[in-house]
Chain A
Amino acid sequence: MNTQFKQETFRDDYTYTNSAEAIRRFPFPFAEDEYMYSVNIEMHGEGTGAAGSVFEHGIDVDEHYIAECEDRRIVLDEDPDRYTALPHMMDAQWDMVELMMDSLSKDYPEHFQLQKDGDNWHWVNKPLGIDQTFVFGDEATLPMQPFEYISRQVQGDWIILDQRDDDLFADMGMVTSQADWSMAFDAGMSFKEWHGPVPQANEIGIFDRALKYLLHLQYGSPVRRLNWTMTINPRLDTSPENYPFWGPDNASVTPENVGDKVYLRVELQALFRLPRSNAIAFSVRGYLISLNELITYPRWGKRLHRVLKQLHPDLSEYKGLDNYRQTVIDFLAPLDDGADLGLGTHPE
């Protein structure tokens, strides 16, 4: 792959845009006209997605890679607590170094290279200009904690779950681009505790089934699902900590600016069992697309119109869409001729 990494921003002047290729490969999440939660889990990793799609590799690297890593750096400079690791997670830190370096160097050899001589590792990250030799398992040979070091070099948020007492605990994380939740608030919480606020899902028993499934997740067999919300402006850091900087934007949507200002935010959530620690890595990779970009494929515009029109009010409120949902529906309505779209998420 010959990716041209873009220089762009996710704050202030918001210069983020998607190329035609990035729009084509956008992980549009709606296979049907109506949306409700489900345990929509499928296999992830090698051989589970089409070439060129965001599902082709375990960790997707796209044209926004350098800009997203830079946005993460800015967030961490202002608020170092977005990275958290409890002391018993050191084995999991090294598991993450291995998972990320192995994946990137195998899947994108033109950008990332890894040489191993026993525990002596040599890591080269060309896009970020990093060249590092270190001893795997020896923290002192890296400039910072191993998981912080490597998670600054990937896109998306990563939450690492320790498994004990037949439950999962959020005991480590690198979370700088979250959709209105806080790692510092959820650190140490169990699976059901941090899902407490989600409406409608507990009633239908989703969390019991999902937890049981995750406790049995196997090393070598990662899985994924898609989740979604909407964001005003292409802002990655929509954290509760920084609500004053982005919250008021929710009231800024008008019929004139809706196409440029409102973004569909799709989270590719993947889960990987980690070998040494028996922990689970939960990655939340956000993809942003403006409505104007999205409707370049009319099928997607029609589908989104129908989903938003029929969305359960509890979900609309939980996702924070109430302020501008009707404006989006009005914007999309003239594009929807009511044609049967059939099943599937494909653009055309």
Chain B
Amino acid sequence: MSILNVKVADVEQVTDVVKHFTLVQENGEPLPHFSGGSHVVVSMNINGRIHRNPYSLMGSTANTDSYHISVRKQENSRGGSVFMHEQVKPGSRLQITYPVNLFAISKMGRRHILIAGGIGITPFMSQIADLNRLGYDYELHYAYRSPENAAFREQLEAMCGNRVHFYVESEGGRLDIPDLLSHQPLGTHVYICGPDPMVKALHINARELGWPENHVHSEEFTAPPIGDEFKVQLKQSGVELVVPGDMSMLEAMEEAGIDAPFLCRGGACGRCEQQVLECDGVIMHNDHYLSDAEKASGNSIMPCVSRAKCSRLVLDF
């Protein structure tokens, strides 16, 4: 996997809990071009352990002198976002992957409805740059908790003009998703990024209204949840390892020197999928990739975010 060495050029406190980082390439060259909706995976060395978190690229796709990511500080997390907030300063060096796009605009769409909840606004910032450049028909609906959480509002007003609508919960603003979806013309695509209940509700609303599944797009990255320690046996590699409670299975495999595949590390892309040969307990699926039926069958697991409660788990790897 190709890696980029970057330096933090600027850090901006956007709201109480959101920081915006400007990254430039260490060798001074422009960064690779990317498409709207792309993300990068940032590697952080936290006390000798490598954490990797995905963050959406939010700058304009036309400007690759720098990349822009925003990080919401997650309390009760394993420390990636806290590290970004407390340890990463202008001049800090980080490693990132090349951009990957799991949340691209469908170019065959006739109209595009973008729905953001809170920090879920970030992938839309680069998508809007593309939509404006291509002259596509779109609307942005952005819901957030209170005026103090209005990250990037002015920037969005400048970019989107009258195409953007804000919903401020503390002021009684409410985005009525069923109403919004119910009067869209044929050929409309909807895109959502936000808290899990909001994303789930949209999928249900869209299905009830008869939207084709491939016109509904969502992106959710899950941080690997903390859980109980468990043991994994890798059959082909002939390795047995322990996954500590505060480490993901993928991280534990990497720590043991196993070269396991991965891309997004947030349970979205499916690249790290492993075949389960045996499990004498329960698999705790935390990804957004496998279907409910696939999860129930227990034949696959996404080691980037999912865990197991069992005494014996055997993977075909």
Which of B1, B33, B107, B134 is A218 in contact with, Cβ under 8 Å?
A: B1
Q: B-facing mask of A213-240, CB < 8 A → 1, else 0?
A: 0001011110000000000000000000
Q: Which residues from B are CB-within-8-Å of A293?
A: none
Which of B2, B101, B270 is A278 in contact with, Cβ under 8 Å?
A: B101
Q: Which of B36-73 contact A (CB under 8 A)?
A: 38, 61
Q: Are B32 and A218 in contact (CB under 8 A)?
A: no
Chain B interfacial positions (CB closer than 8 Å to A) = 1-2, 32-35, 38, 61, 97-101, 104, 106-108, 134, 214, 263, 269-271
A212 to B100, CA, bound (A): 15
Q: Are A275 and B33 in contact (CB under 8 A)?
A: yes
A218 to B33, CA, bound (A): 12
Chain A interfacial positions (CB closer than 8 Å to B) = 88, 91, 95, 98, 162-165, 212, 216, 218-221, 275-278
Q: Are B263 and A218 in contact (CB under 8 A)?
A: yes
Closest to B269 in A: A216
Q: Are B107 and A216 in contact (CB under 8 A)?
A: no
From known contacts A219-B99, A220-B2, infer whether A164 and B108 are also in contact, taking CB-CB under 8 Å.
Answer: yes
Q: Are A276 and B108 in contact (CB under 8 A)?
A: no
Q: Are B32 and A164 in contact (CB under 8 A)?
A: no
Closest to B212 in A: A165
From known contacts A164-B104, A212-B270, infer whether A219 and B32 are also in contact, taking CB-CB under 8 Å.
Answer: yes
Q: Which residues from B are CB-within-8-Å of A221?
A: 1-2, 98
> Distance in Å from the Cβ of B251 to the closest Cβ of chain A?
20
A219 to B17, CA, bound (A): 32
A220 to B269, CA, bound (A): 18
Q: Are B106 and A275 in contact (CB under 8 A)?
A: no
> Total A-B pairs in contact (CB under 8 Å)?
53
Q: Are B269 and A275 in contact (CB under 8 A)?
A: no
Q: Are B34 and A275 in contact (CB under 8 A)?
A: yes
Q: Are A88 and B35 in contact (CB under 8 A)?
A: no
> Distance in Å from the Cβ of A115 to the closest Cβ of chain B?
16
Q: A278-B35, A278-B38 are in contact. List 4 more A-B contacts (CB 8 A).
A: A88-B107, A163-B104, A218-B100, A275-B99
Which of A88, A220, A278 is B98 in contact with, Cβ under 8 Å?
A: A220
Q: Are B104 and A278 in contact (CB under 8 A)?
A: yes
A164 to B107, CA, bound (A): 8
From known contacts A164-B104, A219-B98, A221-B98, infer whether A277 and B2 are also in contact, taking CB-CB under 8 Å.
Answer: no
Nearest first, the 3 A-B pairs at minimum CB distance are A275-B33, A220-B2, A88-B107
> Distance in Å from the Cβ of A311 to the closest Cβ of chain B?
30
A277 to B32, CA, bound (A): 13
A165 to B107, CA, bound (A): 11
A163 to B105, CA, bound (A): 10
> Distance in Å from the Cβ of B109 to the closest Cβ of chain A?
9
Identify which of B32, B35, B104, B269 gathers the most chain A CB atoms within 10 Å of its CB: B35
Closest to A95 in B: B33
Q: Which residues from B are CB-within-8-Å of A275?
A: 32-35, 99
Q: Are A218 and B98 in contact (CB under 8 A)?
A: yes
A36 to B104, CA, bound (A): 36
A324 to B269, CA, bound (A): 46
> Distance in Å from the Cβ of B98 to the closest Cβ of chain A?
4
**27 pairs of residues in contact across A and B, judged by CB atoms under 8 Å:** A88-B107, A88-B108, A91-B35, A91-B134, A164-B107, A165-B106, A165-B214, A216-B263, A216-B271, A218-B1, A218-B97, A218-B98, A218-B263, A219-B2, A219-B32, A219-B99, A219-B100, A220-B2, A220-B32, A221-B2, A221-B98, A275-B33, A275-B34, A276-B61, A277-B35, A278-B38, A278-B104
A98 to B101, CA, bound (A): 19
Q: Which residues from B are CB-within-8-Å of A162?
A: 107
Q: Which residues from A are CB-within-8-Å of B270?
A: 212, 216
A212 to B270, CA, bound (A): 9
Q: Are B98 and A164 in contact (CB under 8 A)?
A: no
A212 to B98, CA, bound (A): 19
Which of A164, A218, A220, A276 is B35 in contact with, Cβ under 8 Å?
A: A276
A218 to B263, CA, bound (A): 9
Q: Which residues from A are CB-within-8-Å of B104?
A: 163-164, 278
A164 to B102, CA, bound (A): 10
> Distance in Å from the Cβ of B135 to the closest Cβ of chain A?
11
Which of B2, B33, B98, B269 is A276 in contact with, Cβ under 8 Å?
A: B33
Q: Which residues from B are CB-within-8-Å of A219?
A: 2, 32, 34, 98-100
A277 to B87, CA, bound (A): 35
A147 to B21, CA, bound (A): 36
A187 to B214, CA, bound (A): 20
A40 to B99, CA, bound (A): 25
Closest to B272 in A: A216
> Distance in Å from the Cβ of A279 to the closest Cβ of chain B?
9
Q: Which residues from B are CB-within-8-Å of A165?
A: 106, 214
Closest to B264 in A: A216
